[in-house]
Chain A
Amino acid sequence: MLNAARRGTPSPADTRAAAVRAARRWIAAALAVAVAALLASRGVETAAQATINGLVTGTYFALGAVGLSLVFGVLRLVNFAHGDMLTFGAYVALLLNAALGWPIVPATLGGVLATAALAAASELAIWRPMRARRAGGFQLLLITVGLAFVIRNGVQLVAGADPLQLRLDVTTAVALPGGLRIGTVELWVVVTGLGALLAVATLLRYGRLGKEMRALADNLSLAEVAGIDTGRVILATWLFAGALAGLAGVLSSAAAGILTPNFGFQLLLSLFAATILGGIGNAYGALAGGLLLGFAEEWSTMFVDARWKLAVGFVILILTLLVRPNGLLGRPALK
């Protein structure tokens, strides 16, 4: 706060910062070359396939992590129920698709909207009243854990605990240049997910609502006295986070081909990791962290058994935090 750079002639500190930036670029480039070489050592085709898988996984990681990060940024709430919001969205889509026979696109939309509504309802019924009572952070955390169980058990009560499947054609694939193939379903997952992520990034960067969300994340009480209706922005944040969670849930269960009431909760750790990797509370960071984590986990399956994917993700998280304690895009306390 006190060492904010003065402009004009470059100070020694500026020169040093430029040198550090240049060094970082070299390290990043060297790392990229090393990763590429390592991947190529297993055969270009295997590497390319793992990359495609990484893109699929990274897409739904990023979708889930952005919502988690938005809620944390705006409300300082660590939402343990976020993973189960993914589950909820996927099961609503499943209900519409498999039980009621809706085509997959409207069923997906139904899952997205229902999850957004669930998130908004949690704001109106729980979070807003709790804030008005000035509940402490620990109480709120416990409530999210409780809510996670309520959602998961509710899903299980209705749908049962057995694995279920969306009605999708998982047999067709699309040929890509270079003899590679990507499943039609996976292609749709990537296209839809990346499209949604692009829309979110654009809204956050340029949209009035996105800027307001960032303002609330910076300083809630300043946002209020600047004239922003913070209650409205918080509700919108929940709608948004819920919609993204619902989409992430449908896409991840479509990609996996199978869903159980536990899958969202099992994904939650990876979503937290992606959020922290990118810089906690920074939605762009969560987006980048999710994609990166997806690639890392899938690439790792070329070298170690797929069972260790999650562990690999966390090793990467810890290594990153050792180098950048505030995450990839996190800044040391700008305030």
Chain B
Amino acid sequence: MTASATGAGTAMLEVAGVVAGYVPDVDVLAGVDIAVDRGELVTVVGPNGAGKSTLLKVIVGLLRPRVGGVRLRGRRLDRLAPHEIVSRGIGYVPQLENVFPSLTVEENLEMSAARTSRDEARRRIAELLELFPAIARARRRPAGLLSGGERQMVAMARALVPQPEVLLLDEPSAGLGPEYVELVFQKIVEIRRTGVSVLVVEQNARRALALSDRGYVLELGRKRFEGTGPALLENETVVELYLGRRQGGG
């Protein structure tokens, strides 16, 4: 499974040679190649400002690459509008402000059910509330009144409504209490088990890499290391520079 991911053209999601930035002449991503295979859990780690969030924004179409491209099952995604990219099978959960605060939990999920019939949407939402019992009892409450952990659950459930093939998560455990950090990782594993490929950016690098099939280390807009989760965790340079000394917790 791991070897095929880097083989050309076979990946589910492929980011090839992407150069991108927010202001003219400043490249936040300076030629990034990554791939995610079917059903894989892939983690991107790296210091603050490395361009991890930017990478996810390029994939979902919030930012257009200046050079390079993004493909899903070999079909080009870059140049499409975000809602078209989502309809082609990408789910995305931003790090912050990832729920609609004045909509109820249920309405938040409905917002990603644009392309399904009413009945189908209702069925799918019921299914997801079952997968996320932590928010099922708050279904009629405005999402803005929920705790950070509950909001993260709402955001993940919402992104899963259209049954994406690849789910992008931007630091899903950041700022959450320990019980929700645990829950987030548990959900990621469950989601992946349903056959969805997951690309996750995580601060909690040790924990994430331990669960992952593969990982990438990004720094200053470039890929520094890649390998299987365990291999990266054993790589002395990676541990030294990016994961910090073993201090438990992670």
Which residues on A are within 8 Å of B, measured CB to CB? 1-2, 4-7, 208, 211-212, 214-215, 217-219, 221-231, 331, 334-335
Give A331 to B101 CA distance when docked, in angstroms. 11
Q: Is B215 interfacial (CB-CB < 8 Å)?
A: no
- A228–B111 CA distance with the chains assembled, in angstroms: 7
A228: contacting residue among B107, B114, B142, CB under 8 A = B114
Q: What number of residue pairs across chains A and B have CB atoms under 8 A from each other?
A: 84
Q: Does B83 contact A (CB under 8 A)?
A: yes
Q: Which residues of B contact A331 (CB under 8 A)?
A: 102, 144
| Interface check B40, CB cutoff 8 A | no
A211-B103 contact in complex given A4-B145, A6-B147, A219-B97, C-beta closer than 8 Å = yes
Give the distance to chain B from A246, nearest Cβ to Cβ, in Å. 27
For chain B, the count of residues having a C-beta within 8 Å of the partner chain is: 33
Q: Mark B115-150, 1 if CB is under 8 A from A, else 0.
A: 100000000000000000000001000101111100
Interface of B (DSSP majority class): loop
Interface centre among B98, B101, B138, B146 (most CB of A within 10 A): B101
Given contacts A221-B62, A224-B83, contact A211 B111 (CB under 8 A): yes
Is A4's CB under 8 angstroms from B146's CB? yes
**Pairwise interchain contact A218-B103, C-beta atoms closer than 8 A:** yes
Which A-B residue pairs are the 5 nearest by beta carbons? Answer: A334-B144, A227-B86, A334-B101, A224-B82, A218-B100
The complex places the Cα of A223 from the Cα of B147 at a distance, in Å, of: 21
Residues of chain A within 8 A (CB-CB) of B97 are 219, 222, 335
Indicate whether B197 reaches chain A with its CB closer than 8 angstroms: no
Whether, in the assembled complex, B53 has its beta carbon less than 8 Å from a beta carbon of chain A, the answer is no
> Do B144 and A335 touch across chains, with their CB atoms under 8 A apart?
yes
- Inter-chain contacts of A208 with B (CB < 8 A): 110
**Whole-angstrom distance between the Cβ of B203 and the nearest chain A Cβ:** 18
Q: In the bound complex, how far is the Cα of B111 from the Cα of A208, in angstroms?
A: 8
Contact A226 B86 (CB under 8 A): yes
Q: How far is the CA of A335 from the CA of B146 in the complex (A)?
A: 11
Is B68 in the interface zone, CB < 8 Å from A?
no
- Residues of chain A contacted by B107 (CB below 8 angstroms): 211, 214-215
B residues less than 8 Å from A226 (CB atoms): 86, 111-112, 158-159
Contact pick for A4, options B98, B110, B147, CB 8 Å: B147
How many Å from the CB of A188 to the closest CB on chain B?
A: 34
Identify 14 new A-B residue pairs, CB closer than 8 A, beyond the known A215-B107, A218-B103, A229-B114: A6-B147, A214-B103, A214-B107, A218-B102, A219-B97, A222-B97, A223-B111, A225-B61, A225-B83, A225-B86, A226-B86, A331-B102, A334-B101, A335-B97
